[in-house]
Amino acid sequence: MTKPLSKADYSPTGVTVHHDPARLTRVVRALRAAGRNIALVPTMGALHAGHRKLIREAQVMQNTVVVVSVFVNPLQFGPNEDLARYPRALESDVDICREERVGIVFAPSVEDMYPFGTNVSISPGALGNELEGATRPGHFDGVLTVVAKLFNIVGPTYAVFGEKDYQQLTLVHRMARELNFPLDVVGVPTVREHDGLALSSRNRFLSAEERQTAVGLSAALVAGAHVSAQGPEAVLKTARDTLAAVPGIDLDYLELRAPDLGPAPEKGDARLLVAARVGTTRLIDNAAVLLGDGDD
Ligand code: PAF
């Protein structure tokens, strides 16, 4: 039998912060029993306008309680990556969630999230070793493992992810489908600054000069997409030339792929993806392109 919810469990007029997974599971179970849908927005915090857009997308669904998870997941960081310096700002994250009329913030500690260790994980398959995975071995095992745990803890009807992390979105879609998670994965277009820079929690690490340099990534995507009617080689050459013209961009990869991240077609829908280091900050971006004349 479902225990009735107290004010400390959930308040229809404000945001409630939960840390304990078992308690949150009990709360969302009661909310579902009362006929509410649960929409999950998984984040690592340091929320910005891109996250606000994910939250607003989650709110579009009827009769929904939005749960925003804020958890910097150590499993998805490699030994030489920026786990220690990743921004943590729970207080202002909760303020943003309050402004956005989020129902619940789930902010577990590492111990709350992994009380039994991390022996079991989800393998993303071959795509997990490509693109981001080639530079960040094990990254997507860590992402999919924590996302699967969040799905099990929260039991959402919808889970909302940004297209900025396009490979992540693709792999989460794949996991949900192949492992029969009973939910819809919703992708939301990237939010950009006025000059095209994709919003990212890591942008705060950029100096003013690096911030200018970083615009080169989105500029390359736009330049590539601009010549997409000429086919894949033209797209890649134009984007590569645009990146090469900006000093300070240390390119990791620039690749054209199919929308499901299989090999790029000669014609039709494709995705152009880029990753580069600017100073000490690694940035990623991507854009949809329509190759050839789009007729099959
Ligand atoms: O995109 C992110 O912020 C993270 O990879 C996610 C999905 C919250 C998992 O830790």
Task: Tell me: pLDDT of 294 over 70.
Answer: no
Q: What is the pLDDT of residue 61?
A: 82
145 lines ligand 1 (CB under 6 A): no
Q: What's the mean pLDDT when you consider all of the chain?
A: 96
Give yes or no for residue 113 having a pLDDT over 50.
yes
> Which residue, among 274, 277, 276, 272, has the nearest Cα to 287 in the 3D structure?
272
| Atom number, ligand 1, closest to the C-alpha of residue 42 | 8
Q: What is the rounded CA–CA span in Å between residue 208 and residue 246?
A: 15
Angle between helices 21-33 and 139-154 (to 10 degrees): 50
Quote the CA–CA distance of 18 and 24 in Å, as a whole number. Answer: 6
How confident is the model at residue 62, as a pLDDT? Answer: 83
Cβ count near 240 (within 10 Å): 16
Atom of ligand 1 nearest to the CA of 162: 1
Q: Nearest C-alpha to atom 9 of ligand 1 is from which residue?
A: 143
In the three-class reduction of DSSP (H, G, I as helix; E, B as strand; rest coil), residue 277 is classed as: strand
CB-count burial class (<10 Å; 0-12, 13-18, 19+) for 119? exposed
Give the catalytic positions in this structure: 51
Domain spans, the chain: 16-188, 203-291
More confident residue, 293 or 239: 239
225 annotated to bind ligand: no
Residue of 69, 146, 151, 203 to test ligand 1 pocket, by largest number of atoms within 8 Å of CB: 146
Is residue 45 marked as binding?
yes
The count of residues in the chain is 296
For the CA of 43, the nearest atom of ligand 1:
8
Check residue 249 and give its pLDDT: 98
User: Of 40, 41, 44, 202, which is best to mutate to test ligand 1, by the most ligand atoms within 8 angstroms of its C-beta?
Assistant: 44
Provide the 3-class DSSP secondary structure of residue 165: helix
Atom of ligand 1 nearest to the CA of 72: 10
CA of 14 to the centre of ligand 1 (A): 24
Tell me, what's the pLDDT at 2? Answer: 67
Q: pLDDT tens-digit profile of 129-186?
A: 999 999 999 999 999 999 999 999 999 999 999 999 999 999 999 999 999 999 999 9
Q: What share of the chain is helix, strand, coil (3-state, %, to 5)?
A: 40, 20, 35
Q: pLDDT class for 1, splitting at 50, 70, 90?
A: low
Measured CA to CA, the distance from residue 165 to residue 221 in angstroms comes to 15
What's the pLDDT score for residue 3?
Answer: 74
Q: Is the CB of 59 under 6 A from ligand 1?
A: no
Q: Please answer whether residues 193 and 199 qualify as being in contact, where contact means their C-beta atoms are separated by less than 8 angstroms.
A: yes
**Assigned architecture for domain 203-291:** 2-Layer Sandwich (3.30)
pLDDT recorded at residue 296: 46
Q: Which 3-state string (H, E, C) describes 77-109?
A: CCCCCCCCCCCCCHHHHHHHHHHCCCCEEECCC
Instruction: Identify the residue whose C-alpha is closest to ligand 1 atom 5.
Output: 143
Residue 81 has pLDDT above 80, yes or no: yes
Domain 16-188: give its CATH superfamily. Answer: HUPs (3.40.50.620)
Crossing angle for the helix pair 208-226 and 232-244, to the nearest 10 degrees: 160
Average pLDDT over residues 90-106: 98
Q: Could you tell me if the CB of 198 is within 6 A of ligand 1? A: no
Closest CA to 197 of 285, 131, 287: 285
What is the average pLDDT across 208-225?
A: 98
Alpha carbon nearest to ligand 1 atom 8, residue: 43
pLDDT (tens digit per residue) in 20-59: 999 999 999 999 999 999 999 999 999 999 999 999 999 9
Rounded-to-integer distance, Cα 155 and Cα 67, Å: 10
